Amino acid sequence: MDKLIIFDTTLRDGEQAPGATLNEREKLEIARQLVTLGVDVIEAGFPISSRGDFNAVKLIASEVKGAVVCGLARAVSRDIDAAYQSTKMARGGCRIHVFLATSKIHMQYKLKKAEDEILRLAAESVRYAKKYTKDIEFSPEDASRTELGFLFKVVEAVIAAGATTVNIPDTVGYAFPEEYGALIRSIKENVPNIDQAVISAHCHNDLGLAVANSLAAVKNGARQAECTINGIGERAGNASLEEIVMNIKTRRDIFADVRTTINTREIHKASRLVSKLTGFVVAPNKAIVGLNAFRHESGIHQDGVIKKRQTYEIIVPEDVGFTGTGLVLGKHSGKHALEKRLQEMGIKLTENEISQAFEKFKELADKKKTIYEEDLAAIVEDQINKPTEIWQLESVVYSSGTDVTPQATIKLRFKGKVSVVSSTGDGPVDACYKAIEKITKICTKLLDYRIEAVTSGKDALGEVSIKVESGKKVAIGRGSSTDIIEASAKAFLNAINKLATTKKDSHGLRL
């Protein structure tokens, strides 16, 4: 049986999604989870695009083991140099991914180059990259709209130059499954040296067909699929990793000759992490990872599932790490019970972190009768995964109502010194944010504000995620509390602390 290589590009194409900015630390956290998930290749970034991207790729390459780390490069030497310099220390191996557009429209209007020159540049750049590493991937960008004869020539030339993977991007999500499958098959049948390279599928979701197209490619001989967690990516996104993997796992009758080595039980955790860190909420009806993906609402369905699960469930929820919202701990649970439960959830903490989490757990248990797994995850994210805390929230007091001007008093600690400031605002959240800005002297523009209940019930934790901009920097902040104004203040301070600790952001060299 063939192995389907899972090439995850959440940190490159995924991060190109408008509004999805991740800092180095967040990228490293995602990369670690991708390794736990078992992806084969992590495309960690586009190193030449900014110093921040270069550093993040380098950090991932040096810290993460268990996957090949890949850097993207245009077909120019300085891009290839940067891709190599940032990935060379990867213990699982490094890959350089060179791309160059080959469709008429891209060659004529974007690159202003003729076919001959494109062919020469493609082969030359692969030869150049080959001096650094054996593992070279080449992408003829906009392949699905490229004239077929020319595409065959390019693919043959780059393989002759040393490419070990040829990726066939459906860059604008224009292809249709039969058509894209036939394209992969025709490459297999018409490129004489194709047996020396792996064919890869890279599909975008502009017409909602990215996963269907990727699967059609696999059926027709592709042995690498490029995808992202939750399907995030440019415009309408990329093919979603969880959907490709679960199709292959669930429909063994159709995909009898391929398998992946993904640990599917880690899927939900990866999805939740990417959603949290990018601020992109997963739609409740999203296949595999949506909150409703395994919920049965209608009585007939519930009855069926009770009698026999498979009546309405084609995937065992636990197989994708979906554990539901079972009661996990209560007010009287001790530290060991908390530690054990966190371990079962795959969360490993240091002794000190467990003590911190336990304190937060007790505080929450005083306010909330039932503590669910999601609450514990929120506590850990809130308490442990925070940036260096320059400003710490001591307290928030606010007043608001139909006939009063909303007002908030914020108490922050900075290097041991406590400052208290009050402000009014358009609402209690606005008043809090104004007071925090007065103390920290960091002015921001609020780009996005979302609030979600972590679990159901009136006493549920409210989880706020926000996106703010200050100068050229963008930061995402999160905070949770049973009091949504406090959660909002925590999220804002979380973002402010990130803004104060990140040196600079990417210059955004887009593809």
Which residues in 186-245 contact ligand KIV (CB under 6 A)?
Answer: 202, 204
- Interacting span for ligand KIV (CB under 6 A) from 29-37, 163-171, 266-274, 361-369: 163-171
Considering only 139, 481, 494, 497, the residue that binds ligand KIV (CB under 6 A) is 139
Considering only 7, 8, 13, 435, the residue that binds ligand KIV (CB under 6 A) is 13
Q: Given the complex with ligand KIV, which of 226 and 463 has the nearer CB atom?
A: 226
Beta strand pairing call for 68-74 and 94-101: parallel
CB of 12 to ligand KIV, least distance (A): 8
**Rounded to whole angstroms, what are the CA distances from 321 to 32, 284, 288, 428?**
17, 16, 10, 38
Which residues in 169-188 contact ligand KIV (CB under 6 A)?
Answer: 169, 171
- Would you tell me how many other CB atoms lie within 10 Å of the CB of residue 121? 17
CB of 167 to ligand KIV, least distance (A): 6
CB of 202 to ligand KIV, least distance (A): 5
228: which DSSP letter? B
Q: Given the complex with ligand KIV, which of 139 and 146 has the nearer CB atom?
A: 139
**Exposed / middle / buried, residue 332 (Cβ in 10 Å: 0-12, 13-18, 19+):** exposed
Considering only 40, 79, 141, 243, the residue that binds ligand KIV (CB under 6 A) is 141
Crossing angle of helices 351-367 and 373-383, in 10° steps, is: 120
Count of residues that interact with ligand KIV, criterion CB under 6 A: 10
Q: Given the complex with Zn ion, which of 44 and 349 has the nearer CB atom?
A: 44
Q: Which of 386, 345, 399 is nearest to 479 (CA)?
A: 386
Cα-flanking dihedrals φ and ψ of residue 14, to 5°?
-60, -45
Q: How many angstroms separate the CA atoms of 72 and 46, rounded?
A: 5
Q: Which does 99 bind (CB under 5 to 8 A by kind): Zn ion, ligand KIV, none?
A: ligand KIV
**Both tokens assigned to 6:** 């899972």
Q: Given the complex with ligand KIV, which of 170 and 242 has the nearer CB atom?
A: 170
Q: Which does 214 bind (CB under 5 to 8 A by kind): Zn ion, ligand KIV, none?
A: none
CB of 190 to ligand KIV, least distance (A): 21
Q: Given the complex with ligand KIV, which of 171 and 224 has the nearer CB atom?
A: 171
Cα-flanking dihedrals φ and ψ of residue 150, to 5°?
-70, -40
Interaction pattern, residues 6-35, with Zn ion; x per rule: CB under 5 A: -------x----------------------
Count of residues that interact with Zn ion, criterion CB under 5 A: 1
Alpha carbon 212 to chain centroid, angstroms = 20
Please answer whether residues 42 and 6 qualify as being in contact, where contact means their C-beta atoms are separated by less than 8 angstroms: no
Q: Is 99 in the site for ligand KIV (CB under 6 A)?
A: yes
Q: Given the complex with Zn ion, which of 234 and 469 has the nearer CB atom?
A: 234
Q: How far apart are the first and last CA of the chain?
A: 36
Cα-flanking dihedrals φ and ψ of residue 168, to 5°?
-115, 85
Q: How many angstroms separate the CA atoms of 215 and 185, rounded?
A: 13
Cα-flanking dihedrals φ and ψ of residue 311, to 5°?
-60, -40
Q: Which does 95 bind (CB under 5 to 8 A by kind): ligand KIV, Zn ion, none?
A: none
Q: Given the complex with ligand KIV, which of 204 and 473 has the nearer CB atom?
A: 204
Crossing angle of helices 24-37 and 267-278, in 10° steps, is: 170
Crossing angle of helices 177-190 and 148-161, in 10° steps, is: 50
**Both tokens assigned to 352:** 């000190």
- Interacting span for ligand KIV (CB under 6 A) from 20-28, 127-135, 164-172, 187-195: 164-172
Q: Which does 511 bind (CB under 5 to 8 A by kind): Zn ion, ligand KIV, none?
A: ligand KIV
Summarize as ranges the residues that interact with Zn ion (CB under 5 A).
13
Summarize as ranges the residues that interact with ligand KIV (CB under 6 A).
13, 99, 139, 141, 167, 169, 171, 202, 204, 511
